[in-house]
Amino acid sequence: MTAFLELRGVSVRLGRFELEVDAALSEGWTALFGPSGAGKTTLLEIITGLRRPDAGRIVMKDRVLVDAAEKISVPPHRRKIGYVPQDLALFPHLDVRANLVYGSPVAKAEDESEFQHVVERLEIVQLLDKKPDALSGGEKQRVALARALLARPELLLLDEPLSALDAPLKERIIPFLQRVRDEFRVPTLYVTHAADEVVALCERAIVLRAGRIVADGPVSDLFVLRESPGYRLR
C-alpha cells in the first residue's frame, strides 16, 4: 500500500477539544468513521486548507501541503482537493451548468466530452438549466458531487453525503456512489457515522473518537455484521 496522503502529527486545539492524528491514506475510498463531535469535519477542514493546524505535516503524493514547523501552508485553491460539505453549498445565484463548470479548467474539446460524461453518469442532464433552489435533495447531492469531480481533484472529501437522506433513498443512492467510485477512481475520504455506508463503499476505514484515531485498517477487519440489520464496529 503506497501512501497517497500522509498526515503526521497533525494537531489542533479548539477550546477544550483537541484533535491529534497520524494517518496515511491509500488510493481508493477510505472512510472517516466516528460519532458526531469526534472531529471529523475539523479534520476535513485541515486537509482542505480551510483551517490551519497548530502542528504537523501533510504531504500528498510528494507535495507538501502543510508543514506547521516550516510555516508552509498551501492555500485551498491550490491544493487540488475537492470538498463536498454536508450542506453541499451549491452557488445559489448560478444555474446548475454554471455551478458545474466553476472549478473545471478552461474549456477544450476533451473537457466538453468529459463534461458530458460526468453529467450523464450522475444523471443530471435534465437539470442543467435549473437553479439550485429548484432541485430536490438527491438532485442537489449529485450536482455537488459532479461539480467537485469536474474540477479534477487529486483527492475528494465527502462530508456525510447521505446523512440527510431516509433509508429507502439511501438504498438507491449507494449503488450509484459505488458506480461513481469505480468509474472515476478518485481517491476519496468518505466521512460518515453510519457503519453500513462504510461497509458498502470503502475498502479502508479510519475510526475517529474524541479527536484521536482509535482504529485504522481494512474495513473487513474493523466491522462485523450484527444480528439486527446493519454493521457494527468490532
Identify which of residues 147 and 170 has a Cβ nearer to other proteins in the complex.
147
Identify which of residues 4 and 9 has a Cβ nearer to other proteins in the complex.
4
Instruction: Kindly state the smallest distance separating residue 191's Cβ from other proteins, in Å.
Output: 15
| Residue 151 in contact with other proteins, rule: CB under 8 A | yes
| Contact region with other proteins (CB under 8 A), list: 55-63, 86-94, 118-126, 196-204 | 86-94
Position among 102, 107, 175, 185 found at the interface with other proteins (CB under 8 A): 102
State the Cα–Cα distance between residues 217 and 191, nearest whole angstrom: 15
Q: Collapsing DSSP states into helix, strand and coil, what is residue 229?
A: coil
Cross-strand pairs, 55: 11
Position among 55, 64, 89, 169 found at the interface with other proteins (CB under 8 A): 89
Identify which of residues 26 and 48 has a Cβ nearer to other proteins in the complex.
48
CA distances from 55 to 7, 73, 194 (A): 11, 11, 30
Contact of 177 with 196, CB cutoff 8 Å: no
State the Cα–Cα distance between residues 161 and 202, nearest whole angstrom: 14
| Residue 79 in contact with other proteins, rule: CB under 8 A | yes
| Residue 85 in contact with other proteins, rule: CB under 8 A | yes
Please give the backbone phi and psi of residue 208, each rounded to the nearest 5 degrees, phi first.
-115, 130
State the Cα–Cα distance between residues 186 and 85, nearest whole angstrom: 17
Instruction: Kindly state the smallest distance separating residue 182's Cβ from other proteins, in Å.
Output: 24
- Reference 181, options 165, 167, 198; nearest CA is 198
State the Cα–Cα distance between residues 145 and 35, nearest whole angstrom: 23
| Residue 50 in contact with other proteins, rule: CB under 8 A | yes
- Which helix (H) or strand (E) segment is 180 a member of? helix 167-184
Position among 25, 38, 41, 83 found at the interface with other proteins (CB under 8 A): 83
| Contact region with other proteins (CB under 8 A), list: 11-19, 26-34, 75-83, 176-184 | 75-83
| Residue 15 in contact with other proteins, rule: CB under 8 A | no
Task: List contacts with other proteins (CB under 8 A).
Answer: 48-50, 75-85, 87, 89, 91-93, 102-103, 147-148, 151, 153
